[in-house]
Amino acid sequence: MKRIVCLISGRGSNLESILNTAESERWATEVPARVVAVISNRADAAGLAVAAAHGVPTSVIEQQRFASREAFDARLADAIEAHQPDVVVLAGFMRVLGSGFVARFAGRLINIHPSLLPAFPGLATHRQALAAGVRVHGATVHFVASEVDGGAIIAQAAIAVLADDGEESLAARVLSREHLLLPRCVRWLCEGRVALRDGRTVVGDLPSGALALLV
């Protein structure tokens, strides 16, 4: 049984997409894998209730209680390791993690970012995309590296930018792609179909075109 730990900071919609997919596709018997814990850096994160509704244990580790980033990272890493995870998912975790943390979980730490990386790393990605006038936008799942949003790409989902799109409408349509993309990548990682080798994503037995979701 592959063990998954998810980190969240907010509403938990990507977490919910993982949990719903795991239940609907019966991961426990087919992969097998399950989410064993959800950890948030915010006590008011709505995603904690999402996890509880699915019977997943939760905990909160707030960074403001620690004197330094390193101290927070160390406590968070210890809490994650207590669950013996095979995969750690940043499912809307709004906190930059230090190089020591990243190295500790290298090859099993993934993130979802709302742009087609390497375009528009960081925050306000939809605003950046609209300002740049791009015609295609989307989401990326990648292995986490020390460079923010700079890790090896696993898969991407793309959408057309419409003439009347604003930040809100563009964000909503990208989020719908995230909800399809992230559970798929989590499953592939649990199945050993994708892996990180020498800083690059290695792809195993996947259907042609599976790494790009175009809508």
Catalytic residue annotation: 113
Q: How many CA atoms lie within 13 A of 66 on its CB side?
A: 13
Of 87, 81, 38, 115, the residue nearest 193 (C-alpha)? 87
d(CA 152, CA 28): 28
CA distance 108 to 7: 13
Read off the tokens for 198: 């020498």
39 strand-pairing partners = 7, 59
Give Rg (Cα) of the chain.
Answer: 17
SS3 115: coil
